[in-house]
């Protein structure tokens, strides 16, 4: 019965499925540079970056994220999920990434996994920027069924909080790490 209700909702309005890229669809070797106050550069893994707090005089360097992606390890369940989204012509499927450039992601997914998907690079790790983009899709493009898949609880929380003011929107949040729908978010 739940599956039938979900399918019915999909056809009662415009549907958008949004996926993060790094650590949601694939794992890459790309790291975030950390420049300290003396100008010295060190590397942060995506795990380290997720919890890192900038200290006085530090700044991030995301230049490695602008390069072509040589290889990645797919997160099989999420790759299968995006393939299902892409196979349904009534669903607009988009990758929404904190990376600045969309081309390296689009090329890598096409070459490595045969996925031809629209990619939006927001150029920011700030969760509110992803929330801005998704809210814009609701307001300007009139999407009412939205599924957002991300490995970052901060991003999921930001989108959930932002879309609370749109009761007509059916929002499904998926934790990419567990594959579970989230009904109650935490920080």
In this structure, is residue 15 part of a structural domain?
yes
Which SS3 state, helix, strand or coil, does residue 113 take?
A: helix
Among 66, 91, 115, identify where a domain stops: 66
Among 44, 66, 88, identify where a domain stops: 66
Mean pLDDT of the chain: 89
Angle of CA points 173, 68, 137, to nearest 5°: 30
Residue 32, pLDDT score = 83
Residue range 165-184, pLDDT digits in tens: 999 999 999 999 999 998 65
Residue 18, pLDDT score = 98
Decide: 185 and 155 in contact? Cβ < 8 Å. no
- Both 41 and 113 in one domain: the answer is no
Residue 187, pLDDT > 90, answer no
Residues contacting residue 160 through CB under 8 Å, at least 6 positions apart: 171, 173, 182, 185
Q: In what order do the strands lie in the sheet with 14-19?
A: 118-121, 91-97, 14-19, 143-150, 170-175, 180-182
Residue 94, pLDDT score = 98
Decide: 28 and 69 in contact? Cβ < 8 Å. yes
Residue-range definition of the domain harbouring residue 169: 2-28+72-182
Across 1-20, average pLDDT? 68
Could you tell me what percentage of the chain is helix, strand and coil, using 3-state DSSP and rounding each to the nearest 5?
A: 35, 30, 35
Residue range 120-170, pLDDT digits in tens: 999 888 999 999 999 999 999 999 999 999 999 999 999 999 999 999 999
């Amino acid at each position: 019965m739940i599956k039938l209700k979900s399918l019915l909702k999909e056809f009662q309005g415009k549907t958008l499925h949004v996926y993060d890229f790094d650590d949601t669809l694939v794992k890459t070797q790309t790291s975030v540079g950390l420049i300290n106050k003396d100008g010295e550069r060190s590397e942060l893994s995506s795990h380290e970056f997720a919890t890192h707090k900038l200290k006085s005089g530090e700044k991030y360097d995301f230049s490695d994220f602008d390069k072509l992606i040589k290889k990645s390890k797919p997160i099989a369940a999420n790759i299968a999920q995006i393939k299902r989204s892409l196979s349904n012509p009534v669903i607009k499927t988009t990758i929404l990434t904190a990376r600045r450039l969309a081309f390296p992601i689009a090329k890598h997914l096409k070459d490595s996994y045969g996925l031809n998907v629209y990619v939006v690079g927001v150029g920011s790790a700030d969760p509110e920027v992803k929330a801005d983009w998704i809210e814009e899709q609701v307001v300007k493009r009139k999407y009412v069924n939205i599924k957002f898949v991300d490995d970052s609880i901060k991003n999921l929380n930001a989108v959930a909080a932002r879309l609370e003011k749109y009761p007509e929107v059916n929002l499904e949040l998926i934790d990419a790490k567990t594959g579970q729908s989230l009904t109650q978010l935490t920080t």
